[in-house]
Amino acid sequence: MFGMSFTEILVIAIIAILFLGPEKLPDAMVQVAKFFRSLKKAIYGAKEALDQEIKIQELKESAMNYKDKIKNSVEEIEKEADLQTIKDLPSKLDSIEDILADEPAEDSSKPKKKSTKENRDV
């Protein structure tokens, strides 16, 4: 117990009997037992809190790693999407040029005819 041998415990018990006397010794032993029990609970609670903090820290690190991976993936996808848009631009421009070439050009030198209603108002 606590790294003490039987003889050391016996010496401590004899000294306790001499100092406290046989009347107060049982109460003192109860108080010592309560103290060691509360000390043991406090140490266990501190150990559990430390273990929990370590787990939380590990989870935070894992979450940050996943966040970085997702961020990098999103950036790569955005770059690829931008590249694809740039690659598609010539074909879109060609299709616009084809549409414009198919439409007859308006002759801006000819005056527009006014409708008969507009002629009456003038």
pLDDT in tens, 83-110: 777 777 777 777 777 777 776 655 555 5
Q: Residues 7-40: pLDDT tens digits? A: 888 888 888 888 888 888 888 889 989 999 999 9
- pLDDT, mean of residues 47-54: 95
Instruction: Give, for 75, the enclosing helix (H) or strand (E).
Output: helix 6-102
Q: Please report the pLDDT score of residue 57 as a whole number.
A: 94
List the domain boundaries for the chain: 6-100
Q: Match 């003192």 to its residue by tokens.
A: 28
Q: Please report the pLDDT score of residue 65 as a whole number.
A: 94
Instruction: Give, for 120, the enclosing helix (H) or strand (E).
Output: helix 116-121
- pLDDT, mean of residues 77-83: 79
Return d(Cα 114, Cα 48) in angstroms, integer: 92
Return d(Cα 27, Cα 46) in angstroms, integer: 28
Q: Any idea what the Cα angle at residue 75 is, between residues 73 and 76, rounded to 5°? A: 65
Return d(Cα 44, Cα 107) in angstroms, integer: 93
Q: Regarding predicted confidence, which is higher, 43 or 95?
A: 43
Question: Within 10 A of 94 (CB to CB), how many other CB atoms are there?
Answer: 10
Q: Please report the pLDDT score of residue 72 as a whole number.
A: 92
